[in-house]
Amino acid sequence: STLTSLQVLHLMNNQLKDVSALSTLTSLQHLSLSNNQLEHVPLWLHRISDLEVVEGNPLSSLPPSARSSDKELRNFLRACEQHGTGRLYSCRVVLAGAFGAGKSTLL
């Protein structure tokens, strides 16, 4: 990439859903991604010292604590990378049925 020296990038308000292509911008120090459509974020984002992502993005794949601020998001991504978590997934299961129908034996 010819933009490897780029240090500041403002991409807010662009309806972006994926920013994985930005990983080649290794000199980025400030990245603004506010008000897009990001549900997932790559782990390498924690390396950017001045990061704006949380505001205006659904980030539905992340736990609520990681969505509370950009600082908490960076801490969460750093911890995931340190512990070898390459991808982040979430799943919600609801077991509905009559009382005594054996739902708890599934758990």
> 51, 70 in Cβ contact below 8 A?
yes
pTM of the prediction? Answer: 0.72
In angstroms, the CA 85 to CA 43 distance is 9
Average pLDDT over the chain, rounded to an integer: 85
- Position 31 pLDDT exceeds 70: yes
pLDDT digit string (tens) for 91-105? 566 767 777 776 666
In angstroms, the CA 5 to CA 3 distance is 5
Q: Does the CA dihedral 74-76-80-82 come out positive or negative?
A: positive
Give the pLDDT band (50/70/90) at residue 71.
very high
Helix, strand, or coil (residue 30): strand
Instruction: Give the pairing type, strands 30-32 and 50-52.
Output: parallel
The radius of gyration of the chain from alpha carbons, rounded to an integer in Å, stands at: 18
Q: What is the pLDDT of residue 80?
A: 86
> Which whole-number Å values give the CA distances from 77 to 14, 51, 65, 70, 74, in the listed order?
23, 12, 12, 11, 5
- Position 9 pLDDT exceeds 90: yes
